[in-house]
Every structure is written in C-alpha cells, then in structure tokens.
Amino acid sequence: MEGLLASDEFMNSVKAEHEDNVAMYLEADATLTKLSDALSRTALHIAAGVGNLSMCRNLVQHGAGLNALDNEGNSALFYALRAGRADVVAFLLQEGAECKGKNHCGLGALHLAAYANDEVSMRRLLAVGGWDLNLQNDVKQTALHVAAHRASTTICDLLVQHGADPQIEDLRGHVPAQLARRMSKIGNEKCLSQKARNATTVVRVAIQLGHIHSQEKSDTTMSHVTNTLPSSPLL
C-alpha cells in the first residue's frame, strides 16, 4: 500500500512540477521512472509535455526510458515537439531519443515540429538526415501540408529545400498550397499560379497573401492532426 501511495504521489509531483519532491522520490527509488499512468505516459512524457527541462534531465539521469510510448504511440520527444519546447527537444535528441518513428495515426516528428511552428526544432531534426520528407499520416498529409496550413513560410521553405514534394495530395486531394489558401481564405488559384515561380513559392505565396490569418486556429481540414497529437499531460 505504501508503494502504491508513493507511486501516486510521485506522478502527482511530476504533473505539478514539484521538482524537490520529484528529486526526493527519485533518490529513494529510481525505478519510479518506469511508472506509467492510465494513458501509458511515463514521468518523462509528462515533464517533456510541460517543457520542464531540469525535471527531464533528472528523470533521464535516473534511468527514464527515452523511447517509451504512450497508448497512442507517442514518445516523450513527441510531447516536447507538440509543446514547441525546442530546449527539451534538443536535450532528448542529444541523449539519443529515437526521432524517426510515427505514432498510431501516422504522425512523425516533422509533422509535430511543423504543427508547433517550431523552426529551431525543425532545423535540428532535419540536420539528423535520412528523413522521409514525404511521410504521410493516416489522412495522407505530409509535414509540408501541416506547415502550409499553419502558415509557416520558413518551415515550408526548409521542408521543400530538403526534398519535400509540394505536389503530394492528402486524402481529400489537397496539395499543401491548397491548405494554405483555405487557411488564409485565398480563393483565386489562377492568381496564385501566376505569382508562383518554383516549388517553394507555390506554398510561400499562398501563405504570404493571407498572412494576417496565420494565428487562426486550425479548421476541419486539420482536425485529424489536432485530434491525434499528444494531448496536454495535465488534462
């Protein structure tokens, strides 16, 4: 009973970011890093999701599994990427976290960095090399689809420069530039095609013409992506 109580208190301390309590529990029993909650999230998932770098360091130092997966197939790295915490992403990658897997809905690390509009993490991931830039999730969207819809011209450029194909269609038959137009309420495809000069500007122009809308929430086109990202560990 005492063990169960300590386990609950440890996980609650992680969620509340009570670092002193977490450190105390880990010093007493490092195996607590192997615990998981009802959603199969370990303490490292939770710490990464809230972007607590010092807690992540402590957990890894005490043996936390870098590549443990929750019940949706998300690693701690995926949680950090979803949260846009480039510092935690950098730490986990440095420690050897696997970055080229995908979760149960087909989302990979590049999808998540694009969704978070995290240019720093995207550059760091691309520097690893060996990516399938055209990896599609369960609704056939690539990271470029996500970046276009999030109106990130820089990330769109990075992906195209590294080999992402701007002509890939998703399940609804949309190429990335079409998602950018829909998101930014651009309806004149002829105007867009006249302005576009290469594969990069196909997406760039679509975003820039409606850049004022770049902070809007995702519409139903991206509902599959938003519904299958790692959720907030505190919910």
What's the chain's average pLDDT? Answer: 83
Inter-residue long-range contacts of 56-64, CB under 8 Å, 24+ positions, other chains counted = 56/88, 56/91, 56/92, 57/91, 58/19, 58/22, 58/23, 58/26, 59/22, 59/26, 59/33, 60/91, 60/95, 62/26, 62/30, 62/32, 62/33, 63/30, 63/31, 63/33, 63/34, 64/33, 64/34
Whole-number pLDDT of residue 183 = 62
The 10s digit of each residue's pLDDT in 139-194 is 999 999 999 988 888 999 999 999 999 999 999 999 998 888 776 644 434 433 44
**What structural domains and CATH numbers belong to the chain?**
1-96 (1.25.40.20), 99-229 (1.25.40.20)
pTM for this predicted structure: 0.82
The 10s digit of each residue's pLDDT in 46-101 is 999 999 999 999 999 999 999 999 999 999 999 999 999 999 999 999 999 999 99
